[in-house]
Amino acid sequence: MTVNHHVRVYKSEETLPRERQLAWKIAEVAADPVAVDADVVDMIINRIIDNASVAAASLTRAPIVSARAQALSHSVSRGGSGSTVFGCAISEKTSPEWAAWANGVAVRELDYHDTFLAAEYSHPGDNIPPILAVAQHAGKDGAALVRGIATGYEIQMDLVRSICLHKHKIDHIAHIGPSAAAGIGTLLGLDVETVYQAVGQGLHTTTATRQSRKGEISTWKAHAPAFAGKMAVEAVDRAMRGQTSPSPIYEGEDGVIAWMLDGPDASYEVPLPAAGSRSARFLTPTQRSTRRSTRRRPG
């Protein structure tokens, strides 16, 4: 069951409790300890295989070679065992944010992984590299990984259904920052407050223009979603250390909606799962998932 959340811009003198903010509602979904249905588990496994396959096909391309070299120049960060990088030996590891970066570039370079089109464009498989990297570093099991990926897909696709970015020339990575942060929050079993702060930072640091997908197509087109995943990992790390974020990030009078999207008079209806009912419904076997045939299409 889903609940539509009415989202609008609030002036600073208006009261908007955290519990009514979209970032908080997203965090509540991430912190809800609901089980993942068996058919959804099967599709998540398929999506992981899909991501690995398209990444393998791109390993010798220049953006991946560059991103991989960057990642391997950083040692494993404290507090974990490190994360692997596509195309490297299992013994070669880096810190999770840099693994999210390198693997995210490899996954997106060819634009062949899953696609969901609604009010906005999206490749929800972009959530997998950062969530997987954190899972490896933190030593989480497959069940935790599956739950994290289910949240990442759920949140990104709910945002994609309801909030259009491209008509305002904002790149669709702005939906990945919050969704990947939420997915990592689920993976790690974080509380609502911590995920809320991470979601706010994830959005705040990933709002960029769509020029990377216009004019002379640069290698940044592949790097952009990987950057969002890297920012999500870092946002969660900061939030876990007690650091806070701009608030309300969506609804504030100088926030994303007011100045980057539909303006101060805008409103949206964002569908999110009701408590205890998250099903990652977009990951069921009936999901309409298409593959890209060229890097120069809109995504």
What is the rounded CA–CA span in Å between residue 130 and residue 143? 16
Asked if 46 contacts 211 with a C-beta cutoff of 8 angstroms, the reply is no
- 230 — pLDDT class (breaks 50, 70, 90): very high
Q: Tell me, what DSSP letter sits at residue 36?
A: P
**Model pLDDT, residue 287:** 42
- pLDDT value of residue 66: 97
Q: Which domains are present in the chain?
A: 2-283 (1.10.4100.10)
pLDDT at 284 over 70: no
pLDDT for 283 equals 52
CA distance 107 to 227: 12
| Residue 214: per-residue pLDDT | 83
Q: Name the residue among 245, 237, 95, 260 with its Cα closest to residue 175.
A: 260
Spell out a b/e string for 139-168, using b for 16 or more CB atoms within 10 Å of the CB, else e. ebeeebbbbbbbbbbbbbbbbbbbbbbeee
Split at pLDDT 50, 70, 90, the class of 280 is low
Whole-number mean pLDDT of the chain? 91
Instruction: State residue 268's pLDDT score.
Output: 96
Max Cα-Cα span within the chain: 55
Question: pLDDT tens-digit profile of 34-84?
Answer: 989 888 999 999 999 999 999 999 999 999 999 999 999 999 999 999 999
pTM (predicted TM-score): 0.92
Residue 299 has pLDDT above 60, yes or no: no
Distance CA 70, CA 201 (A): 23
24 versus 278: the higher-pLDDT residue is: 24
Helix (H, G, I), strand (E, B) or coil at 279: coil
Higher pLDDT pick, 115 / 297: 115
Three-state DSSP at 3 gives strand
The pLDDT tens digits for 94-109 are 999 999 999 999 999 9
Tokens for 263?
A: 């303006």
Lowest mean pLDDT across 2-11, 126-135, 214-223: 214-223
Contact 63, 212 (CB under 8 A): no
The answer to whether 173 and 156 have CB atoms below 8 angstroms apart is: no
Task: Give the whole-angstrom CA distance, residue 79 versus residue 134.
Answer: 11
One-letter amino acid for residue 13 of the chain: E
Q: How far is the C-alpha of 259 from the C-alpha of 253, rounded, in Å?
A: 8
